[in-house]
Every structure is written in C-alpha cells, then in structure tokens.
Amino acid sequence: MENLSTFHILFLVFITSGVAVSTTEFTLQNNCPYTVWPGTLTGNGGNILGDGGYQLNPGASVQLRAPPGWTGRFWARTGCNFDSSGNGKCVTGDCGGVLKCAGAGGVPPVTLAEFTVGEKDYYDVSLVDGYNVKMGIKPQGGFGDCKYAGCVSDLNMICPNELRVMDPQNNVAACKSACAAFNKEEYCCTGAHSTPQTCSPTTYSMTFKKACPDAYSYAYDDETSTFTCAGANYLITFCANGS
C-alpha cells in the first residue's frame, strides 16, 4: 500500500514566535557507488526545490535553497532509466515515471529526509515508508541541539523476507514497512490504532529502530526521532556512513 502522505507531526508545526529572515541551504551529496536520482516534495504548496528531481552521479553534490517556512522531504530514487524527455521508471522511489517529480512523492519503500524550516527547524530521517538507501542529515552551523540524524545501517541486509523488494538482478533493492506489506491497522497506526496510546512499536518497527535508533521507525516514534536546530544549513548524504 502506498503511503505518500506520511508527513509527521513536525510538518504541522507553525513557527509563530518570530520570523526567519534567510534561506536555508540543503546540500545533497551522493556517497553511493552508483547514480541516484533525488526526488523533492514540498509539503505546504511552496517552492519545489530542484524542479522536483534530477540525476546525481557518484561523488557529486547539489545545493538547493529553501525559503523561510518551507516544509518538505527528500529521497533517493535508484535504478532509474529516463529518456531525453525525462520519462522513465525507477526500481525504488519512483514518482510517476518522470525525472522531475512535479508534486508527487516517492513510491514506498523509500528512506526519507523531512524538514520544516523556520525560526527553529525540525528535521528527521524516516523509515515509516520503508527503506531503500542509507541516509544522514548533518546540520552545518546553527545553534541549539543540532544533532546528526540518520539511518546509516544497511537495512536491506537484515530485511525480513516478507518485506523485501527485489531488483531485476534479484538483489534486495528495498525493504517495505509492515504497513505497506500487510495493510493492517496495528502496523499503519490507523483505525482503532490511530493514536499514540493505541499504536505501539511492532516486531518489524523495532528491528528498524535497533538498526537505526535515530530514525523514525513507525508513525508515533517522535520522542527519539525528531530533531531541532536554528539558523543552520544541512548536508543530506545518500549512502551515509555516519556523522
């Protein structure tokens, strides 16, 4: 089951205590030994950064600037093949068969970097929509808590068989969330399990959490997974190895 609308509580935060006066720069760095095609999605109808998607070769980086109040997410698409018109398909993270994700999110499973920027920035790495590549967020400058956030373990190596997504070469390309795999309320935090009190960690989410303790493992995993910083720029690394 696709879950393209998983914007956590941090995306509902409105900064009202002051006005941020400068843009925030995101540097997206590809540390993978293969090309990725980052996708970007704006969550509040604001500016679409980087035209929504682009190619990023191994070792390459790109800088994107977001205006104050911007909310959105970044993810890596893998195994993509686009024609000269920007039409094609990706093995993971596809956003409708186009290079430039025009308002579309990545099809799960994907590792997500999520942000709300303002006088105080909120950010996280999320595995709620599953996992495809290691990812890290490193604040640069700024003040406050400003901790490194990420999932730098290869979850594809420990992905349960029932959650595996295979690539054309029969390798594990991604690891589904239990919600996407089974579409049950207790895994999706819906229906009778739609509140923090009624939606608890599961065996699957705890496997993710043990491997990546600083990343969201299920929808209400806020306490140890949401980070804040003020006045920072951010380095987002695909295939990150740590802080």
What is the rounded average pLDDT of the residues 132-153?
96
Domains in the chain (CATH in brackets) are 9-238 (2.60.110.10)
Spatial separation of the C-alpha atoms in residues 233 and 229, rounded to whole Å = 10
* Per-residue pLDDT band at 223 (split at 50, 70, 90): confident
What is the token pair recorded at 44? Answer: 């509040």
Q: Count CB atoms within 10 A of the CB of residue 23.
A: 15
Spatial separation of the C-alpha atoms in residues 221 and 114, rounded to whole Å = 14
Handedness of CA 220, 140, 134, 211 (dihedral sign): negative
* Per-residue pLDDT band at 95 (split at 50, 70, 90): very high
* Per-residue pLDDT band at 221 (split at 50, 70, 90): confident
Residue 224: the pLDDT is: 85
Residue 10: the pLDDT is: 43
Each residue's pLDDT tens digit, 33-92? 999 999 999 987 778 899 999 999 999 999 999 998 999 999 999 999 999 999 999 999
Each residue's pLDDT tens digit, 103-131? 899 999 999 999 999 999 999 999 999 99
DSSP output for 69-80: T-EEEEEEEBS-
